[in-house]
Amino acid sequence: MAEVMSACVAPEERARQMNSPSTICAIVFDMSGVLADSEPLLHAAAVAMFGEKGLTVRAEDFRPFVGAGENRSIRGVAEKYQFPLDIDAAKNRTDHIYLELVSSRLEAFPGAVELVRACKSAGLKVAVASNASRVKTKATLKKIGLPTEQWDAIVAAEDGVEEKPAPDIFLALASRLRMSPEQCVAIESAPNGVEAAKAAGMRCVAVAQSFPAERLQAADLVKLKISDISPNDLVACGVSASGTGVGFRRAGLPLSGAAESGSVESAPWGLWATLGLALVIGAVFVVAQIVAGIIAGFGVMATGGGEALRDPKKLESNGLFLALTTCGAAPAAIATTCLFAWLRRGISISDYLRLKAVPARMLFRWCLALLALAVVSDALTSFLGRPIVPEVVVASYRTAWFPPLLWFAVMVLAPLNEEIFFRGFLFAGISRSRLGGWGAILLTSI
């Protein structure tokens, strides 16, 4: 932080800095995909708008236009389906739907608000370059705790600039900040935004929060998430083209070379490596389950359930046996999965497996939904006069010996293992291959 302060705060240096093209004194933030996770809400609003007009579209239809602005996004999807549309009216309706979603569903990316405040504290100017409408921009910034009055400059769609990937929005911001583009660093999350910033002559730091790092290699620095960036990283982009300073690389450097130098974080294992390691994880799970099963057999005998060992069907529904085998096999598989994710250097286990804390409000809503489901289930049981669960479940509870152990096995360990392995490790590796997201969904489902 001291380096930042000395670069941009000392009054006696200000005049010299303003004339120096190598000194970074302003940070320009994209909004959607950088500060706030608003892209899903933008897409949901547009999908709802099209639905009201009788056209069914998908959120994926908007993916090619991320970072290119609302007009281009809505127009592009309408053109894809050859659907006649009044763009201005459609955008206004989309804005209205988006504003309804913001109040309850919008979240800032972890570390985004802290980075903005750290930059301000360091004496750096901060600005927002958004292709979104001003009403959306204002609502989004207010919701994440960075209202418009906290920014030195904001350019939105109504300001008459051509949308990204054109450089106009960044040139307009540099003008409002009374700085040259070379004195600004843009933080972007989409290829269109990176292209626009570089075309304007700004240094660019990209965060792979919406697109994979491979798609953002034209930036000067690529980070997996905004919480990985510090003000010193941003100021370091102002060093000479020799690349001194941690994490700096020039645009156009091949991704493999950048990764070797440590400037771009590594992506998950590739397709074949992922599938091969998945077989190893599966083998570990099977071996651990066999060992745990042998131990569980003694436990079943000790509780008077020796008859179940002679009848495979009874053993399958023995609650103690199920609990002990799950408690033995699941942790082994989870540990092996995390080990293989950890071995992929340059990416943290939490980022690799997409482990995210659930917002308290969302957790509360799901707990209420679960409670409602339990009430309905009990009501049906009473109304029908018989259990609505399979007999195997009833048998498992009768033979559980210690029910909390069974609950922990089937409600915590088993789902956690499934999420980490299938929807974490396997999905990450397959989705980054040519099979893409749909291939990952299909294979992990199978």
**Taking 90 as the threshold, does the pLDDT of residue 72 lie above it?**
no
Average pLDDT estimate for 280-287: 94
pLDDT averaged over the chain? 79
Q: Report the percent of the chain where pLDDT is more than 90.
A: 22
Which pLDDT value is given to residue 313? 66
Average pLDDT estimate for 337-361: 79
Structure token digits, residue 63: 């993916």
Of residues 437 and 325, the one with the higher pLDDT is 325
Average pLDDT estimate for 428-432: 81
- pLDDT confidence bin for 246, thresholds 50/70/90: very low
- pLDDT confidence bin for 285, thresholds 50/70/90: very high
Average pLDDT estimate for 349-358: 76
Which pLDDT value is given to residue 247? 37
Q: How far apart are CA 283 and CA 77, in angstroms?
A: 46
For 213-222, 411-420, 432-441, which range has the lowest pLDDT when averaged over its residues?
Answer: 432-441
Q: How far apart are CA 289 and CA 413, in angstroms?
A: 13
Average pLDDT estimate for 261-270: 55
Of residues 88 and 442, the one with the higher pLDDT is 442
- pLDDT confidence bin for 263, thresholds 50/70/90: very low
Strands 203-207 and 221-223, bridge-based pairing: parallel
